[in-house]
Homo-oligomer: A and B are copies of this chain.
Amino acid sequence: MPEQTERPTLEVCLSPALLHLYDLAQKIVVVIDVLRATSTICTALYHGAQKVIPVDSVEKCMEIGRQLGAVTAGERDGHIAPGLEHGNSPLEYPASFIQNKTLVLTTTNGTRLLHMAKDAEEIVIGSFLNVSAVCEYLIARRRPVMLACAGWKDRINLEDSLLAGAIIHRIKSHFDIQCDAALIVEQLYETTQGQLMEHMQQASHYQRLTRHGFQQDIAYCLTIDGANVLPVYRDGAIALA
């Protein structure tokens, strides 16, 4: 374990509506939107997509898709948005389909959070699918870290909190943690004892997604290291570091 005086800080922000309370300059921000934006981004890049361009509206998605000849994707109310070709499910992006392509993805919570974190020194994409890659990177970089959860319409959600807790659980000895939210989510994660799916069945988002038939998505999005790459957001696009 490094000396206390050498350790960078580690904080957690459980809702985009709290992000303004923190100074993000000189920090690495890990954007977390487990169901399903950041899981889909990791999957597409793991399967060989060149890059993912996150946008905040269906119109922008269609426009950029036309300009670049890219795959367009996005949902509204659980269905593929009119004018787009694909949905937000990570299972729609196997290598046989997405390799060497650009994906233009419109999501609500996740994209907004990426834009809000623009003052950060670096922005990386976190999901259960790449938790090892994220943790190794954060330990190696030795910079202050903010784990930024997308939540659901600014409300705190269970799945993003659990991932923040899982990351803290793995890397806490390398950081100085003076953040109650970090203590809370780490203890939350520890109570699951690795039984993520069982735990998630209590979550509000689980109910919403299973109503739309996405049980398979949830099981996949909770798979530790299922797409273990390190996506970085830079100049409006996400690509592997």
Contact = CB atoms under 8 A, between A and B. Distances in A.
A174 B184 CA distance: 25
Interface in A204-223: 204-205, 207
Question: Copies of this chain, how many?
Answer: 2
Contact of A161 (B152, B153, B184): B184
Given A179-B204, A203-B180, A204-B178, A14 B156 contact: yes
A21 B14 contact: no
B155 A21 contact: yes
- By secondary structure, the A interface counts as helix
Interface residues of A, number: 29
A118 to B, nearest CB: 20
Given A155-B181, A161-B180, A180-B204, 17 more contacts: A14-B156, A15-B15, A17-B17, A17-B21, A18-B155, A21-B154, A21-B155, A156-B181, A156-B184, A157-B180, A178-B207, A183-B202, A183-B203, A184-B185, A187-B187, A187-B188, A191-B191
Nearest to A177: B202
Contacts of A185: 184
Contacts of A156: 14, 18, 180-181, 184
Q: Which of A156, A188, A190, A191 has the most CB of B within 10 A?
A: A156
A158 interface: yes
Interface string A167-205: 000000000001111011101101100000000001111
A225 to B, nearest CB: 24
Interface in A145-161: 152-158, 161
Nearest to A191: B187
Interface string A11-53: 0001101100100000000000000000000000000000000
